[in-house]
Structure formats: C-alpha cells, structure tokens
Structure 1
Amino acid sequence: MRSNRRKRRREELNIQRNDGIGERCLGNFPSSEELAMLDGKTFKEVTSNILGYRAKDILKLAKDVESGKIRLDEFEGLEDKDDMFHKFRQIRGFGPFASANAMMCVGYYHKVPVDTETIRHLKEVHGRTNCNKKTVTKDVEEIYNKYAPFQCLAYWSELLDSYETKFGKLSELPNSNYHIISGRLESFDITHSGISG
C-alpha cells in the first residue's frame, strides 16, 4: 500500500537475487521487505559505494524487522520520547545521530542530530569558532533549546537556508550537484581546521 501511495523514482539498480526470481530493480527508498530478500554479499556489492560500512547494519535491520525480531509496532506505543530514543539506541548501528534522525521521522523534534556538519554549521553561521566534538551538544542546546520541543526543525530549517544562500535554490539544483550538499566538508569552501567528515 505504501508503494502505491508514493511515487519512487527508480534508478537502474539491477540486483541478481539468489531465490531464482532473477533481476529486480530497487528504487531510492526500498522497503525492509525488498531489502531483506537480498543476500549480504549482493547487497554489499551493490551499495558499498553508497552506504559504505553502514550496508551490513542496514541489511541486518531490514531482516530483523521482517523476521519480527524488531517490532516497529512497539515504538508506536511509546509516548515518552526519552524511552523511544533509548529504544532506538538499542538497535545495532543506531548511535545518537541515527537515533535523533529516527526520532524526527516519527514526529519527535527535540534532539538535533549532531555530526561534523553540525559543527561546521555552528562555526560558520553562529560564530562558535571553538565548537568541536566535545562541545557541540552543549552548543546545540544553548542555541536551539529556545525552540523546544522543535529544536531539530529549527536546526534543519536554518541549515537548509544556509545551503540555499550558498548554492542557490535547492529545488533547482541539478541531480549532478547533489554531492555538494551531502555533508562532505571537502565540498564546502571553508577553512575551519579541526573538522573532518
């Protein structure tokens, strides 16, 4: 039903399946069912240049969801956002960054996912020149807690505005230029030291 409601742009990503069905084309947002049908070797070969070291954990997550080992319906009953964050953290591959992103996807916006792109943004936009891995969480709280419980929405809105100021309207950016806003710091023309992607 989900795939009927959303239109997925299909890329030419043909995958040989080991179940005798033959080749299959996956779109940009394959379901856990589609991913779980793939064997680890094929999945890694096809996605290594896209997912890198995360490929193994993503495939395991899809297989765990499909097997019932991870029950997504258990997340629906959680009303305490800290309990939900803790439950995400229990899943292999879900550190603070992935868990904060997952929280946003289910409607909780109080945690800003922090990484090197957040550090770059705080240095460039907020003048937090001393921001680093050790201080970024405190810096984020000082800047965005005034937007509670929507800290993450405020951050993302501000981040997207800064991208559009730098690169132009994102909706008009050709696909071939998506890499410049992928969070890879080498794509930005900045000279801040001490940040690596």
Structure 2
Amino acid sequence: CLSTRRGASRPTIRLVALVVFLHSFINSAQIQRGLGASRIFLRGASDMSSTHAKMKPTTKSLRVTLRRSKRLLTHGSKRKSSGNTPLKPQVPPKHARFSRSQSQKVPRNFQEKKAIEIDGQNFWKIPKDFSLAQSVCSYGYFALAPNRWTPAPHGEDEDRGKLSRPFRYANEKVVWATIRQSGSRSSLPESPPNLHITLHAPHELAIHEIQEVMDGVGRMLRVQMCVKGFHEVCPEAKDRGFGRTFRSPCLWEDMVKTITNCNMKWSGTVRMNHLLCTHVGKNGAFPTPKEVLKHKAQWLQENCKLGYRAERIRRLAACVEGIEGMEKLDLQWFEASDRKREEAFERIIKLYGFGKFAAHNVCQLLGYHESFPFDSETVRHFKEHHKASSKAKFTDIEKLARKHYSTFAPYQFLAYWFELWTAYEKRRGSTSTRWTVRGNQTESSGFFDVSKPRSKR
C-alpha cells in the first residue's frame, strides 16, 4: 500500500503499525518494551498525519519510519517518550534490585562461559573476624586494573559488596571470578562469615585448576592471616575489622604495580595498569611475564605510558622467565613461611629498578609488617597530622616515623597505613568500602588525590 501511493491516511498508517506490532508480539520476548515502542510509533504516526495537509510524506520517508518502528518494537526504546503519558520502566524483581553501583556485569567475553559456584569453607577456615569489604578496601591496589569493587547498596551491611576480576590459571588461561560474602562479624554466632566465589570458565575446571585460582583469592584477601596481635596494639583498627591489607593474587603483579607506583602521581599509576591490562593482558587480565616480553620497551612506553618503567618491567619479566641472559628469579622462594625479611629485602633491592621504597613495599606485601615503605606521602602525613616542621627533610621524617610506630612492633606498617588510610577517607568524605571501582577505573584516579581540598562532609 505504501509503495504504490505517495501519501497515506491516518487509518492506513495505524493499520501498518498494528501489523508490525502483532509480528513483534509473537517473536519478541520483551513484551513491555514492545508496548512502549508501539506507543511511540502511534503517537509519531498521529503527529505526521495531522501535518499531512502541509507536507505529504514520500514513500521513502514512510519506509524509513516503518523500519525505525520495527527496530523499536524488537529492541525497545532507550529514549524517553515525548508525549504526555510517560512510559513505565521495567522494574526488576525484588531479589534482583541493585543500586547503580551494583549494576556492574560480567564482561561480555565471559558471559557465555560456564559458571561454577564455590564455597569458600571448602578451601579455608575463614576467621570469625573476617570482613570482605575491609580486606578489599584497605590498600590502593584494589583500585587498580583489573580489579572491580561494587559497594553494597546504601543501608545494607558493607560486606554485601562484591569483588570481581579475571584470574590467571595454567599460565595463559583466564577465568572471571566474582567474590561475595555471606554472614558477617556483626551476625555472630548465628551467621559466621563465609566467602562464595563464582567462576566463569571456558570449560569444566579440574580440581588443581580451581585450587590454583583459590590460592590467588586467598593470597589477595589474606584470608588465613591472624590479626589478633595487631588489634591488641591498635583497638581502633579492631573496631572496624581493619588489618588484612589488600594485595594481588601473585607476587609478579604486586612487583609490577610497585614499579608503576614509584615516582608517579596516583592518576598515572591508575592509567598505566589499566593500559597494561587492556593492551597486553589476555581478556583484560593482568599480563603475564611472557605477554610482557612479546613487546619491546619502546612499544610499552608508547602504548602503556610506562616511560622509563617499561625497561624495568621487561627486565623483571625476563628474570621471572629466566631468559635474555637473566638469572631466573624464583618468586615462590619469597613466599616461604620461614623466609626472613632481611633475606627477602636483600634479594629484592638487587633487582633492576627496585630502590629502597620499592623493596620495603614488596616486603610488606609479602607479609613483613615491620617494613618501612616510607615516601613523600609519609612526609605530607606527618606534617599535617603529627606537627612535623614544614621545613623537615625526608630523612628527618623517616626517623620520626620509625620512632612513632615502634610502639606497634611488629606491626609498624599496619599502624602507619591505618592512620594514612583513614586520613584519605576523611579527606574524601566517605569510607573506602563505599568507593566504586569500575572496569575503566574512572573514579580510581581521584581516590588519593591530596591536591584537592578536603571534603566538607
């Protein structure tokens, strides 16, 4: 009808709309969106017919309108209607309602993969004072790619947040993991804390593959770490469950992030890690040493904005792999429970690109909490909160800090970091467990920006 006439009356257009709607009603599972789209089309048809006397639509324009309406009926409309009757949005069931920050989904390239549900109690004896939110939101590396943190909805327990990220297993394979907690410290003894991990894997995982991923989860959250000793000397930390500071699933990732953290603003550290995961790592995962070595230092400088750090990261990767004339670096040697801090420190500081701060920082990530990774932030913190002289040099501040935190031995770093972390929260005006870390790390750049004035909240 439309192809044989240059114009069309209102009944004709509405008849065509009805036919298209019935076709969509049969084939589309999204009935509500279809109804909304048909209202949009009918209103548009009515408006067009009312102005028909002034401007006759051509056959081509009517065909375009018909195609657009068909797309709306099939996929729904993303735009709000312009009529007097607003379209009612689809309301998810009560059990599926989330806040805006809870809407983060599994990445598209992992959605079609098989989901495996894992009970954390089958792998660890989870302490009664464990808190997922406090374990994650306790150190800046949680805000770096490829980590994603979704806070709990407002008004709910902070431990209802979730941590998501890709994990490596069998060297080159990648699995997407989402970590949640049931129970909490506040619900004892009826509901003790427990972790639930959902793995989106490309195939059925073998027991040893699941164990490898769970080892990474346990290391990252320090699930089996006892914090009673620290809580005895720092009761304020006990009140909020602070003490299990966040780290990466493997030492290699911690060492690379430490390199990107040296002599760099936090926003630059965020950008470098995001680009490493985007351009070098498989499926957005943190790159392995082999993946780093596929690229020259110049390529890493240009595409990952690493600057002089590109050569340092490449050399570290070559050491881990034991190639390019480098002596092989056994990362498991550092993880031994009987390893002394002095031994680890001396081995790390001999590596290319690792100075005093970097070596101390890797040591505290390994669990040596008597380490002193002091830097310019320590100087700023002591001048703002401990009345240190504005003219004091770094060496002077370091002596003051060592003396001040000696009363917390052997937890000097944890005491220092708890002070510094809560100061960051006060400056930002909210607790870190409510900060959102998305896939693009857009918010992460401002978490520790001390150049901004403190929040008045």
The equivalent of 1:83 in structure 2 is 343
Flag the 1:30–1:14 CA change in 2: closer, same or farther, 3 A: closer
Q: Distance in 1 between matches of 2:297 and 2:314?
A: 7
Q: Secondary structure at the match of 1:134?
A: helix
Which residue of 2 is the match for residue 170 of structure 1? 432
What are the ranges of 5 or more consecutive residues in structure 1 without an aligned counterpart?
16-22, 191-197
Residues 142-189 of structure 1, C-alpha deviations (whole Å, 9 max, x = no match): 11111111111111111110011110222333543422344x65x244
Q: Is the 8 A contact 1:100 1:111 kept in 2?
A: yes
Pick one of 386, 395, 400 that aligns with 1:126: 386
- 2:386, 2:328 → 1: CA distance? 43
Same amino acid, percent of matched pairs: 28
Q: Which runs of 5+ in 2 are unaligned?
A: 1-168, 176-212, 218-248, 250-273
Range with greater deviation from structure 2 (133-142 or 62-71) = 62-71
Do the aligned residues in 1 keep the contact of 2:372 with 2:413 (CA within 8 Å)? yes
Contact 2:427/2:453 (8 A) holds in 1: no
Q: TM-score, normalised by structure 1?
A: 0.75
The answer to which structure has the higher helix fraction is 1
Question: What is the CA RMSD across the aligned residues, in angstroms?
Answer: 2.9
SS in 2 for 1:118: helix
- What secondary structure, in the 3-state scheme, does the structure 2 residue paired with 1:13 have? helix
Match of 2:396 among 135, 139, 150: 135
Contact 1:43 1:59 in 2 (8 A): no
What CA distance in whole angstroms lies between the structure 1 residues aligned with 2:311 and 2:396?
31
Q: Which has the larger radius of gyration?
A: 2
Matched to 1:70, the amino acid is: L
Aligned to 2:21: none
Amino acid at match of 2:434: E
What is the DSSP-based 3-state SS (H/G/I as helix, E as strand, rest coil) of the residue aligned with 1:160?
helix
- 1:71 offset after TM fit, Å? 2.2
Query: How many residues of Structure 1 are paired with residues of Structure 2 in the alignment?
Result: 177
Per-residue CA deviations over 1:15-66 (Å, capped at 9, x if unaligned) read 5xxxxxxx95543x33323323332222221221xx3332220121012111
> What is the 5 A alignment of 1:40-189?
40-48=297-305, 51-67=306-322, 69-77=328-336, 79-130=339-390, 131-167=392-428, 168-174=430-436, 175-182=441-448, 185=450, 187-189=451-453
**1:76: how far off?**
3.9
Matched, 1:38 2:316: no
Secondary structure of the residue that 1:109 maps to in structure 2? coil
Query: 1:123 deviation in Å?
Result: 1.0
The one-letter code of the counterpart of 1:169 is T
Q: Is the 8 A contact 2:298 2:310 kept in 1?
A: no
Letter matched to residue 117 of structure 1: E
Partners of 2:332 and 2:443 in 1: how far apart? 38
- Over 3 Å counting, the alpha-carbon distance change for 1:157 and 1:30 in structure 2 is farther
